[in-house]
């Protein structure tokens, strides 16, 4: 009888060496003392970059710039467990990832370029991207297709030595500030559903590209300092044949290599948000009184604290276990674990932030505290990089493959009793069977 087995019998080890622990300690202080204050300022993007420049240089001096990449590309080759621990610190403030050179979508695009780019593409796009001299966009999602990229219609057709691109992409982050797009387009419509699309590099100044800015729940400002979104329409956009990134028809495989580890980083950043919200929850609980006793002495608040503490630790360990599996076996082997942390971590973050906001009342709802901003970000987490429902399907299918259908349940007591009597009957006292 097949059963699903949780765990492999191999001990999980998330420990890190003392030298790396010192780097984490430095990061905690640096992010708290130097980056958190930026949240309180009204910064346009240019001003943020000017203020961030010396901070970025400090990060480089500590050898922590673009740490998601291997040493051959200027990174540290830390692996996903160490990167996860770093992103837990960076997640506490949205300004921290770009100051450490690993913000989305540039970090994911640099990983794709590191894997699939030609030497010429690396020189033109990857090297300046890693240096923080240029920025990129990941042009993938299409409106109305949900989380099913096999339904994409944006096309790229070879015409001589050029790709001709037509179609519309939706909710493309920071595309108005990017120097190039990594575009997922259908190049082989008659191929297998997972081999229809290819990745193509499209310079942002190519004729035929039109942007329509989109505001969002988590970034309603007209001029946000970090994140923008837009609908991107490509009309007869022409790029050279050499703009193909990786193999023709290989977009799905490349996207998985990009999105899998990236979700580890997302989820550990969420743990950073959770820690900060949890601290606010607990501080409020011990600081304020109501009806003759502290909030901390109210059973409801105690339940919030206890439930939040357990949920955050569980989500953190689940995420580190997924990171550990990627380090040992690769992203493909960890698809179930990656999907699980995506929907579980997003829900935990939402619930913890919601409790922190609730205990502060209208104070938490106001912009005098960062909780309302965290709350809006938390809601977005259940949508981007694939909605929760899609990831739950992935997990459920993986789990259910380990089971076989049975006419009689495996735990059926009469059937088990008959088998037990056949196995042990001659050893039993007859009186025990009455």
pLDDT, one tens digit per residue, over 164-179 is 999 999 999 999 999 9
Residue 243's nearest CA partner among 315, 161, 139 is 161
**pLDDT (0 to 100) of residue 256:** 78
Mean pLDDT on 223-234: 83
Percent of the chain with pLDDT over 70: 93
Mean pLDDT on 229-245: 97
pLDDT, one tens digit per residue, over 268-327 is 999 999 999 999 999 999 999 999 999 999 999 999 999 999 999 999 999 999 999 988
The DSSP call for residue 172 is E
Asked whether residue 347 carries a pLDDT value surpassing 80, the answer given is yes
What three-state secondary structure class fits 171? strand
Distance CA 81, CA 328 (A): 10
What is 136-249's CATH number? 2.40.110.10
Asked whether residue 5 carries a pLDDT value surpassing 50, the answer given is no
* CATH fold group of domain 18-130: Butyryl-Coa Dehydrogenase, subunit A; domain 1 (1.10.540)
Percent of the chain with pLDDT over 90: 71
Q: Kindly state the tokens that stand for 371.
A: 């909780």
Asked whether residue 103 carries a pLDDT value surpassing 50, the answer given is yes
Q: Is the peptide bond before 105 cis (omega within 30 degrees of 0)?
A: yes
**pLDDT (0 to 100) of residue 104:** 86
Residue 109's nearest CA partner among 138, 66, 130 is 138
Alpha carbon 388 to chain centroid distance?
A: 12
Distance CA 352, CA 274 (A): 6
Distance CA 345, CA 351 (A): 10
**pLDDT (0 to 100) of residue 431:** 53
**pLDDT (0 to 100) of residue 9:** 53
Selection from 39-48, 137-146, 247-256, 412-421 with the highest mean pLDDT: 412-421
Segments of 241-325 assigned E as strands: 244-245, 289-290, 293-294
Mean pLDDT of the chain: 90
State in Å, rounded, how far the first CA of the chain is from the last one.
31
Mean pLDDT on 392-406: 93
C-alpha to C-alpha distances, 15 to 79, 244, 283, 296, 368, nearest whole angstrom: 13, 41, 29, 33, 38
Sorted by where each begins, the domain ranges of the chain are: 18-130, 136-249, 252-400
pLDDT band at 226 (very low <50, low <70, confident <90, very high): confident
* CATH fold group of domain 252-400: Butyryl-CoA Dehydrogenase, subunit A; domain 3 (1.20.140)
- Is residue 116 within 8 A of residue 245, CB to CB? The reply is yes
* 328: Cα within 13 Å, side-chain hemisphere: 13
């Amino acid at each position: 009888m097949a059963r699903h087995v949780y765990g492999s019998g191999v001990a999980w080890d998330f420990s890190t060496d003392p030298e790396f622990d010192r780097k984490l300690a430095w990061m905690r202080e640096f992010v708290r003392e130097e980056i958190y204050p930026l949240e309180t300022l009204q910064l346009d993007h240019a001003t943020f970059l000017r203020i961030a420049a010396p901070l970025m240089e400090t990060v480089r001096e500590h050898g922590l710039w673009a740490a998601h990449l291997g040493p051959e590309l200027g990174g540290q080759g830390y692996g996903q467990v160490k990167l996860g621990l770093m992103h837990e610190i960076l997640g506490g403030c949205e300004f921290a990832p770009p100051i450490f050179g690993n913000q989305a979508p540039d970090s994911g695009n640099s990983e794709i370029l590191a894997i699939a780019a030609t030497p010429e593409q690396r020189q033109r796009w990857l090297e300046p991207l890693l240096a923080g001299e240029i920025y990129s966009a990941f042009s993938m999602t299409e409106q109305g297709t949900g989380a099913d990229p096999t339904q994409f219609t944006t096309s790229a057709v070879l015409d001589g030595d050029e790709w001709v691109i037509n179609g519309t992409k939706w909710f493309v982050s920071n595309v108005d500030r990017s120097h190039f797009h990594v575009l997922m387009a259908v190049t082989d419509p008659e191929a297998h559903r997972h081999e229809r699309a290819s990745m193509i590099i499209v310079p942002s100044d190519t004729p035929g590209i039109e942007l329509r800015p989109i505001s969002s729940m988590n970034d309603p400002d007209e001029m946000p300092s970090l994140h923008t979104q837009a609908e991107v329409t490509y009309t007869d956009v022409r790029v050279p044949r050499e703009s193909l990134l990786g193999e023709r028809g290989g977009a799905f495989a490349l996207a998985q290599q990009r999105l899998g580890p990236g979700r580890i980083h997302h989820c550990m950043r969420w743990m950073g948000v959770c820690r900060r919200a949890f601290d606010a929850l607990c501080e409020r609980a011990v600081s304020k009184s109501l009806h003759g006793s502290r909030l901390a002495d109210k059973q409801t608040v105690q339940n919030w604290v206890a439930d939040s503490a357990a949920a955050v630790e569980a989500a953190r360990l689940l995420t580190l276990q997924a990171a550990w599996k990627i380090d040992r076996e690769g992203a493909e082997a960890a698809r179930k674990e990656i999907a699980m942390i995506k929907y579980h971590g997003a829900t935990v973050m939402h619930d913890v932030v919601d409790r922190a906001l609730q205990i502060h009342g209208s104070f938490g709802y106001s912009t005098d505290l960062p909780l309302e901003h965290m709350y809006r970000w938390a809601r977005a987490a259940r949508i981007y990089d694939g909605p929760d429902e899609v990831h739950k399907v992935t997990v459920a299918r993986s789990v259910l493959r380990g089971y076989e259908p049975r006419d009689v349940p495996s735990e059926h007591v009469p059937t088990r009793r008959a088998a037990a009597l056949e196995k042990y009957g001659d050893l039993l006292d007859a009186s025990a069977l009455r």
